[in-house]
Amino acid sequence: MLNTRLARGAVCVSVIVFAAATAACGPTVDLRTGLEIEAISTGWLDAGVVEGKNKIVPAVIFSLKNVSDRKLSTLQVNAIFRRVNSNDEWGDGFRTIAGSGGLAPGAATDSVTINAQLGYTGTDPHAALLSHSQFVDAKVDLFAKYGSGTWARIAEYPIMRQLIEH
């Protein structure tokens, strides 16, 4: 009798675990088509004065809209900044866009700003650094993922030669 109860209990636990795993493994969303980037702006942020020199850093400002039919839980974005003449990473920034509550279908995020830590410094005013003879333009690649999924490249933008505000 005890063995029968244990066997039934094991079957019940197995059924519950299987049902939970099946529910969590629904169809995935391709973020390249499931997210729409809205209100995109790029440029250079005034990063203040560092060691007596003015500093500017590349930045991207955007919002995301969930155009899929599924809630995107724990939505994250990673921005990789590069100089246009190099494939080497120059800086990056990471943000959790929507936590465990997720981003519902049709919903959009607030404006998000991500900037690199590295940039240009000089004694010229911040705006004048943009026209310096040794200035090299930059670009940003945006990657996104939700839940325990994999990172998907969703966009690439040039960093405009303009100062932008946070």
Query: How far is the CA of 47 from the CAs of 80, 92, 98, in angstroms?
Result: 18, 15, 26
pLDDT tens-digit series, residues 76-106: 999 999 999 999 999 999 999 998 899 999 9
Residue spans per domain, the chain: 28-164
SS3 112: strand
Residues in the chain: 166
Backbone φ, ψ for residue 14 (5° rounding)? -60, -45
State yes or no: pLDDT of 44 exceeds 60: yes
Is 2.60.40.10 the CATH classification of the domain at 28-164?
yes
- Per-residue pLDDT band for 7 (boundaries 50, 70, 90) equals very low
Cα separation, 83 vs 45, in Å, equals 16
Task: Tell me 113's DSSP state.
Answer: E
Predicted confidence at residue 10, as pLDDT, reads 44
State yes or no: pLDDT of 9 exceeds 60: no
Task: Tell me 108's DSSP state.
Answer: B
pLDDT tens-digit series, residues 113-160: 999 999 999 999 999 999 999 999 999 999 999 999 999 999 999 999
pLDDT tens-digit series, residues 15-39: 333 333 334 455 799 999 999 999 8
DSSP letter string, 42-55: EEEEEEEEETTEEE
